[in-house]
Structure 1
Amino acid sequence: MATLTIRNLDDSVKQALRERAARHGVSMEEEARVLLRTGLSGPAEGKESLWDRVSRLREKYGTEDLEIPERTELAGQREVFADWQDNQ
C-alpha cells in the first residue's frame, strides 16, 4: 500500500473531513480513503449512478413538456413600482 501526503489543505476542508469522519466513527485517514476510493471508482458495485437512475425513471414515467407562458413584457421595459404609491 502507498502513502500519500497532502500539503496546503484548507483548514475548512480539514475540519469538514474531521467532522465527517466523526459522524461515521472512523479516523480522518479512513474517511479520506473512502472518499478517494468512491470518488475515483464510480458507483459501488450493485448501485446505479445518478445518471442511470434518472434515465431509468425517464424510461418508466416518460418526460413532460411544460407549457411556458407567453411573455408580455421584457425585463427593463416596465416600471417595477408602477402600482406603488407614496402615501406620505
Structure 2
Amino acid sequence: MATLTVRNVPDEVHRALRVRAAEHGRSAEAEVRAILAESLKPQERVRMGDALATLGQKIGIDDGESKLFDKLRDRTPAEPIRFE
C-alpha cells in the first residue's frame, strides 16, 4: 500500500477530522482513508444497459423507435475471423 503525507492542514480541519473519527470510532488516519475511499470510489459500477437506457431517455427514444431499430437490425450471422 502507498503512504500519503498531507502537510499544512489547518488546525480547524484537523480538529474536525478528529471529531469525525471519534464519532465513527476510528483513528484520524482510518477516517482519512474512509473519506478518500468514499469520495473517490464509485458506490456502484455503471451497468452498460442502464447507461444506454438513460441515454435513450435523454435523447427521446421511445418504445416505437426502439422496435423500429429491432426491425432494421442486420441479423446476418457474422463471419468468423480468418488468420490466413
TM, length-normalised to structure 2? 0.50
TM-score (ref. length: structure 1): 0.48
Q: Which has the higher helix share?
A: 2
